[in-house]
Structure 1
Amino acid sequence: MIKPLSFIKQGRVVTIQDIAGCPQRKRHLEEMGFIPGTPLEVCRCCQQGPLVVAIRGGKVMLGEEMAKDIMVRP
């Protein structure tokens, strides 16, 4: 089932399916390595706050609004 990255629990590995939102945000996320088909791991998540993910050999911190635009599949 596809769901927003912001709903994924810490320690889970998921695969990016799509990037929603405005074209500028989509391009920005793709430039950061968030490309459909790419696996990532949720390293840290807070109830309301930034999310830290491991992707392409690095770690990235995302705000909750950006994480909502990244659609993933477990």
Structure 2
Amino acid sequence: MPQVPLAFLESGRRGVVVKVRGRDEQRRHLENLGFVAGAPVGVASHVAGDLIVEVKGTRVALSREAALKVVVAAG
């Protein structure tokens, strides 16, 4: 499966988190939201460049900058 930043997935697409990049503080924040290796994620929608993402049964709003830090295996 190709690995891409979460920001590059189209609405309705799903993937699995491979890794979270960024500074320790950013990485920890994203991991606390549920973006951990092996977690399934889906993009509900793109809104003005930002994303609404489903992870661990919850919808989360992410800036494009944060979504670029999450690398997923697109399925």
TM-score higher than 0.5: yes
Higher strand share: 2
Count of residues in Structure 1 that have an aligned counterpart in Structure 2: 73
Spell out structure 1 runs of 4+ moving beyond 6 A: none
Letter in 2 for 1:10: S
Residues 28-67 of structure 1 mapped to structure 2, 5 A cutoff: 28-46=29-47, 48-67=48-67
1:68 matches 2:68: yes
How far apart, CA to CA, are the structure 1 residues paired with 2:72 and 2:44? 15
How far apart, CA to CA, are the structure 2 residues paired with 1:45 and 1:14? 16
1:43-72 CA distance string (max 9 Å, x none): 0014x4220011111100000000000000
Could you say what the CA RMSD is over the residues aligned between the two structures, in angstroms?
A: 0.9
Letter in 1 for 2:21: A
Structure 1 unaligned segments of length 5 or more: list them.
Answer: none
* TM-score (normalised: structure 1): 0.93
* TM-score (normalised: structure 2): 0.92
